[in-house]
Amino acid sequence: MNFMQNRTGLAGLSIGARARQAIRAHKLGLGYLGYIAAGFVAANAFVLGGLAPFGVAFAASAKQKFGAAAILGATLGYLFSLDVLGNVKYIVAMAFLFLLRWVLSSGSLLKGIRPSGQALTALALGPPSLAITFLSGGSVYDGVLAVAELLLACCAAYFFSRSAQALELGADNLRQTDVTSLVITFCIVILALVNLKVLGVSVGRTLAVLVILICAQAAREAGGAIAGVAAGVSAGVIGGPYTFLMGTYGFGGLLAGVFAPMGRAASAGAFIVVNTFALLAARRILDRGLLIEVFVASILSILIPASFLKRFSARPAGDRAVQGETYKALLKNRIGGVSLALRDVADTTRRVNERLSGMVSGDLSSVYNAAADRVCRKCKNRSVCWQLKYTDTCNVLNDALGVLRRGEELAPEAFPAYFSKSCLRLPELSTQMNLLFQEYTARESMRRKVSQVRGVVTDQFEGMALMIDAMGRDLDELATQDGTTAGKVREYLQSLNVFPDLVTCTVDGGANMTLEVTIPTYKLSRLDLTELTVSLSDICGRDFGLPACKNRTDCAATVMTFTEKAVYTVKWGATQLGSSCSRLCGDSYSYVDGRGGRVNVILSDGMGSGGAAAVDSTMTSELLARLIEAGVSLDASLKLVNSALLVKSGDESLATIDITGVDLYTGKAEFYKAGAAPTFLRKSGKGGYVESSSLPVGILGGVNFEKNAVTLRDGDVIVMVSDGAVAGGYEWLVSDLEHYGGDDPKELSEQLADEARRRRTDGHEDDITVIVLMLERGI
């Protein structure tokens, strides 16, 4: 009775359900067959004219229980290949791989060791490949090619492993690295099957077109374009003489994605049209196989059940907010990883630089030792000079080095008379010492320059790491975009016949809103910015200040950035007095309206005065201003500017850096100094100063800011000065600042600059710069 019920239940199942049930019942056996077939296919994927390491990589990356099946399939693939002799090293590698897997699975001493697929690939393919290259008398190029093939195989093993894991996880749990691995595995499959033809039709290219259409129908334009380019590179550029397929498949996949919302037939039709015109343009219309491949794959894509495509389709809009937060977390982790890697590179470079800097390239005595080796060993009196009179000979040659150190040419007359009489090869000896000393000094100079370049590289890597760290912090503080408010702003602008290219509305960690609107530049002159600011403030429910407008260089567009009005505003003024001996002032300053309600004032004092100092200080202040405007952190900017000064020229380039940053929302003032003069404050009517003992930039790698901070209020004053302003002391400056009763920063800067020049009594002159900032309550 129970038996009959079971049979009835089975009879009621659909054909698809029966097939799935049969697959589950024979899952293990089908898995073995699948790995044998995949290994066979991977072994027949060729690159660079005949290299086929992918079979070894696939067998090495296979799971332990399917390892034997993968090895069998790949070995059969190599044996049945058209190039059996060229595959000898791969067949040997498969034997090595089988032995390695057997030892690891059965050996008691090695139990528990689970090497990665990359390690197994290197151990199996490396020895036979390098041995065959060596025994066959291969050239250096052949050796490099063998190493490159080994690296390619290890990379392929990694991607095969990730692809297998991705297929087990399912489409809903794929990460970016999983997608990348699947794309690369797809390219290798195309390489393997592109030359396999049935009735003149390439199985590889047909499969490539089918995957392109599936991706276009499931992931629209992005999926179709990415799959098209990947398949085009594999089938057209690497896998055969059809280089035009890269553009054809890529553009066809893009259009297939565009037409995908109209149905699978429209998507496939768009791909067919693109490929037909491409064949006409390339004069390959007689190659009917290419068109047949496209038509066959298009028909198959239409016949695929819709339920299959739904697994890979984009998620509904309701999940996008969650996805956004997930991507934000992933991006933050990726940024942290990149920053850590750059910092590791910087640390390694610094340690190597310190180790190499402590190494001496050769003692100066090596100059006369080498000269004596070249000249004296040919002389018949060498035993007298270097045995009987060894000490006298060394003293004479040491004295000769003193002549060379003074920058003088060593002539035979520079040697003592008694030595000149006994030395039979004195002219040749002096010539060789001159030549060898020049080589020694050139090597020492090069060693110092190389050490300096390593220091510059260290600073650049550290600067990039700090910059990426700051990007991660900015990302963490960035809240979800306010799409509703952005939509209202777009509607309002469209009512003014201004059609923006982009409108973004974000709120930072401090709940401050920033509105960015990108419009065609020619529309800007038609807008009243004051009226526009008032209207957008009403729409967004925020009190915006007038926008900062920046023209984009890549297109005729202007980006208007509206930020909320800050609690404070800054009035500022500056005065510069150059030394009388030069028409140029060696000091330079910049005022930067930073993002997020922060202003930064940069003052740089080039060492010395005149043109050279002006070049260093201007370069320093301008580079810092550009980096700060771009949102680069101050610590990262310091590293990058320091490295720029170190490599600016062969001459010494030194400059101080003095940065004052004021947060207009909180009144917090931050002071960053590198070799700079004190900064003076008047807070609540009382004077004081902030000083630094750090070095200027451009002296050595690893320079850092000294940092201080203080919170200011309405009416407080900041005075930044260069070294020339405090050469006569600075207690007077604190007093004058406390007793100043006006509210004009320009007037105060002129008074302080004139008084600084009057008080200098040491007989020297230097450039003087005074910058005054006054904090006021915002309107």
C-alpha 697/C-alpha 714 separation (Å) is: 34
Same domain, 428 and 514: no
- Domain membership of residue 142 (yes or no) is yes
Q: Which element (helix H / strand E) includes 706?
A: strand 706-711
Same domain, 361 and 403: yes
Instruction: Quickly state the pLDDT bin for 284 (edges 50, 70, 90).
Output: low
C-alpha 645/C-alpha 697 separation (Å) is: 7
- Domain membership of residue 328 (yes or no) is no
DSSP symbols for 369-408? HHHHHHHGGG-TTHHIIIIITHHHHHHHHHHHHHHHHTT-
pLDDT tens column, 738-766 = 999 888 999 999 999 999 888 877 666 77
DSSP state of 239: S
- Domain membership of residue 692 (yes or no) is yes
Same domain, 462 and 509: no
- Domain membership of residue 321 (yes or no) is no
Q: Is the pLDDT of residue 277 over 60?
A: yes
- Domain membership of residue 327 (yes or no) is no
Q: ∠ CA(99), CA(105), CA(108), 5° rounding? A: 105
Residue 254 structural domain: 194-314
Mean pLDDT of the chain: 76
DSSP state of 566: P
C-alpha 434/C-alpha 412 separation (Å) is: 11
C-alpha 277/C-alpha 107 separation (Å) is: 61
pLDDT tens column, 17-48 = 555 556 555 667 777 888 888 888 777 777 65
Same domain, 548 and 618: no
Same domain, 144 and 219: no
Same domain, 615 and 695: yes
- Domain membership of residue 122 (yes or no) is yes
Domain stop point among 189, 216, 242: 189
pLDDT-wise least confident of 77-91, 300-314, 593-607, 621-635:
300-314
Same domain, 553 and 689: no
C-alpha 157/C-alpha 328 separation (Å) is: 30
Residue 472: its pLDDT value, please?
64
Same domain, 202 and 280: yes
- Domain membership of residue 620 (yes or no) is yes
Please give the model's pTM, rounded to 2 decimal places: 0.45
Same domain, 550 and 576: no
- Which CATH number fits the domain that encloses residue 630? 3.60.40.10
Q: Is the pLDDT of residue 529 over 60?
A: yes
In contact, 772 and 718? CB cutoff 8 Å: yes
- Which CATH number fits the domain that encloses residue 533? 3.30.70
Instruction: Quickly state the pLDDT bin for 772 (edges 50, 70, 90).
Output: very high
Same domain, 546 and 425: no
Sorted by sequence, the CB contacts under 8 Å of residue 30 that are 6+ apart come out as 23
C-alpha 485/C-alpha 541 separation (Å) is: 9
Q: Is the pLDDT of residue 592 over 80?
A: yes
Domain stop point among 283, 314, 345: 314
Same domain, 360 and 487: no
- Domain membership of residue 470 (yes or no) is yes
Sorted by sequence, the CB contacts under 8 Å of residue 173 that are 6+ apart come out as none
Q: Is the pLDDT of residue 453 over 70?
A: no
Domain count for the chain, please give it: 5
- DSSP, collapsed to helix, strand or coil, labels residue 53 as coil
- DSSP, collapsed to helix, strand or coil, labels residue 417 as helix
Same domain, 460 and 365: yes
Domain stop point among 282, 314, 346: 314
